[in-house]
Structure 1
Amino acid sequence: MDKIFFIGIIIGVLTRLIMLNLEQKQYPTQPNVLIAQLVLAFVASALGALLVPALIERSYTSITFLSLAAEQFRQVRENRRDTLTELEDKQLVKRGNAFIEEIAKTYEVRNYMCIISSFFTVACYYLITSEFKIGDNITILISTAFGIVLAFILKKMIKRDSIGDIADVKIVDIAFENNSILKVGSLSGITNVGLKSEREKFLKHGIGIEIIPKDKNYINASIIQDPGQRQTIAYNLYSRLGLYRQKNEPVFTPIPRRNPENESIVIAYLPIEKNEEAVIQAVKSTPIVSSARGKNIALKNYVIGRKDGK
């Protein structure tokens, strides 16, 4: 019992570490967050590992502790949401409420994954022990292998789609019309840039981005046009590549705009380093937030630019 209990905890924490690697690619984290998440992973894994022998002994009060743990994890979600919301005003580019809620929800769900992986690792051990005549060491090895495989399956199951899965990203020109009207690609009227020095910065450091929905699909278009998703894209660019602006230069804040001609999104962005390939990869790696899905379902059979549905 002691060996499989600790192995269940190790598998649970390992599951969190695997998912933390995924999380760092999608949501920038800080070192102190890593410690907090590992401690929570240990607690969640211990609960999952203890649940199986408790149920075997018909100690149903263990369900009460599980429900209390779930309530604690929900509190972690709320605390994370509140913290990120309080930091919004200090960001050069805001995350937006949709992205904040997505991050907070992720912090809660990851702990449940630890419970699941440790629970089924220990359950596998007890099942093999009761049904088959196999040595204890071999049973532990089989259970450990099962737990590791399960951890990777869970990681794959909860991995989010990204903008690169539903849209093509290309670099377009930045120009000015009527001396001060910003134009990105074929879309004019982005904003009015009155100062010559600011227009020169746009032309020297700026990169024009166009995000085009794949397959001319309205569902894909509705996702990238969602206000929360647009802000997530802007923040993802900023968090990975920085922003060439000061606090008192709001004109350089990236503002995604819709191009009605092809339902694409265009952005004028000023990274710290003008690297077009890095910009494309940053946009494509942006996770799709849950609130952006499920829009324009009635148009799923229609093609952008054609209204016959064929």
Structure 2
Amino acid sequence: MPAQLLTPEHLTMIATGFVLGTYARYSTVEEDYRQFPSYPNGYLIHLVTGGVAAAIGAVALPALLTNNFVGVSFLALAIQQFRDVRKMEKSSLQDLEPTEQIPRGRAYIDGIAKTFEARNYFSLITAFVTVLVMLMIPGHRPLLDIPFGAVAGLLTLFLLRRLSKGKTIGEIADVALATIRFEGDMLWIDDVPVSNVGLPDVRERMRREGVAVMITARTVGGQIVLANEGQRQAIAHEAARTLGLKRYLYQRRDFEKGRICFAFLPIRRDNGALLELVAQVPILESAKKSARMRDPEILPKEGR
């Protein structure tokens, strides 16, 4: 059958789906931005790719109904393109690793790249559902179709964000400031021996300007997450990237109690912000695979 022209009703549906789908990407930019290196270019990339995904999701059903099968084929092409975008983002972040004072680590980069791809599917699915609901309403009256489509799109976005929301360090562990002290040349963070610091000037500066954090898992599963090397690297990176790093970062895992701790010299000293950002560091997929995140076994306080 020959392709048919899109009707004004179809164009209204496509425009509504496009707007809702683009908004879906915009609403998640703040969640992504703290993990990405550039502004405003990174912001623009998010919105443009989200808009493209929304346009494809919005046009898929009208194209199918009007026998424009070439338009529908762009849906499969877009999915492949989003995978390529993930690969490019991963490659870009890996190229930037040598410029970071504290590298992100391969595990964190992999998680960021997958998140970058997944957010585009938010736009595509939100736009698709918006148009689908508008098509299911008989009569095709814009004053009725648009509100129902918008509600369906927003509900889809809410469900997608809820289902895809990952855990953070603050949900599985207690994050608290710790005390820096020295016994001879040995740096201690609370009761954990961390590193031998031979230079007197460095020891004095750590006493005077250093900040330390102790992260204590609440469950056995949480201990397994904190034992993951990529997870510890991500925590150190976020702390150094957000508050700045003058010099020196010491990190140690307490093998007896499953805790991790680190101390560093920040450029901006803000203890409240430091605890908040550590608690908000996402749990990496590579760490989740190695732990039962729903482990009900709560560790006794004396065992923490």
TM-score, normalised to structure 1, is 0.87
Q: Secondary structure at the match of 2:267?
A: coil
Q: Which moved more, 1:161-170 or 1:200-209?
A: 200-209
Equivalent in 189, 195, 198 of residue 199 of structure 2: 195
Please report how far the alpha carbon of residue 61 of structure 1 lies from its aligned counterpart in structure 2 after TM superposition.
4.5
Equivalent in 181, 185, 194 of residue 190 of structure 2: 185
Letter of the 1:261 counterpart? E
2:24 aligned residue? 15
Equivalent in 169, 172, 178 of residue 163 of structure 1: 169
Equivalent in 118, 125, 146 of residue 116 of structure 1: 125
Unaligned ranges ≥5, structure 1: 246-251
CA separation in 1, counterparts of 2:77 and 2:60?
13
1:248 aligned residue? none
Q: Secondary structure at the match of 2:176?
A: strand
Contact preservation (8 Å) 1:185, 1:266: no
Letter of the 2:286 counterpart? S
CA separation in 2, counterparts of 1:175 and 1:258?
17
2:249 aligned residue? 253
CA separation in 2, counterparts of 1:270 and 1:201?
8
1:6 aligned residue? 15
CA separation in 2, counterparts of 1:67 and 1:114?
15
After TM superposition, list the pairs within 5 Å mapping 1:150-299 onto structure 2.
150-177=156-183, 179-188=184-193, 190-214=194-218, 217-245=219-247, 252-255=248-251, 257-297=252-292
Letter of the 1:253 counterpart? L
Letter of the 1:237 counterpart? A
Please report how far the alpha carbon of residue 47 of structure 1 lies from its aligned counterpart in structure 2 after TM superposition.
0.6
Contact preservation (8 Å) 2:249, 2:262: no
Runs of 4+ aligned structure 1 residues displaced above 4 Å come to: 25-29, 58-63, 299-306
Contact preservation (8 Å) 2:36, 2:42: no
Identity %: 32
CA RMSD of aligned residues (A): 2.2
Contact preservation (8 Å) 1:26, 1:286: no
CA separation in 1, counterparts of 2:296 and 2:50?
44
CA separation in 2, counterparts of 1:280 and 1:95?
19
Write the deviation string for residues 37-91 of structure 1: whole angstroms up to 9, x where unpaired: 2111111111101111123345554443212111111111111111111111111
2:82 aligned residue? 73
CA separation in 2, counterparts of 1:49 and 1:276?
46
Please report how far the alpha carbon of residue 221 of structure 1 lies from its aligned counterpart in structure 2 after TM superposition.
0.7
Contact preservation (8 Å) 1:241, 1:272: yes
Please report how far the alpha carbon of residue 28 of structure 1 lies from its aligned counterpart in structure 2 after TM superposition.
5.7
Equivalent in 80, 94, 98 of residue 85 of structure 1: 94
Letter of the 1:51 counterpart? A
Equivalent in 88, 96, 100 of residue 105 of structure 2: 96
CA separation in 1, counterparts of 2:36 and 2:223?
23
Contact preservation (8 Å) 1:209, 1:269: no
Contact preservation (8 Å) 1:18, 1:155: no
Unaligned ranges ≥5, structure 2: 1-9
Write the deviation string for residues 128-147 of structure 1: whole angstroms up to 9, x where unpaired: 13xxx573311211111221
| CA distance 1:300–1:4, shift in 2 (3 Å) | closer
How many residues of Structure 1 are paired with residues of Structure 2 in the alignment? 292
Matched, 1:40 2:49: yes
CA separation in 2, counterparts of 1:139 and 1:279?
47
TM-score, normalised to structure 2, is 0.89
Contact preservation (8 Å) 1:242, 1:271: yes
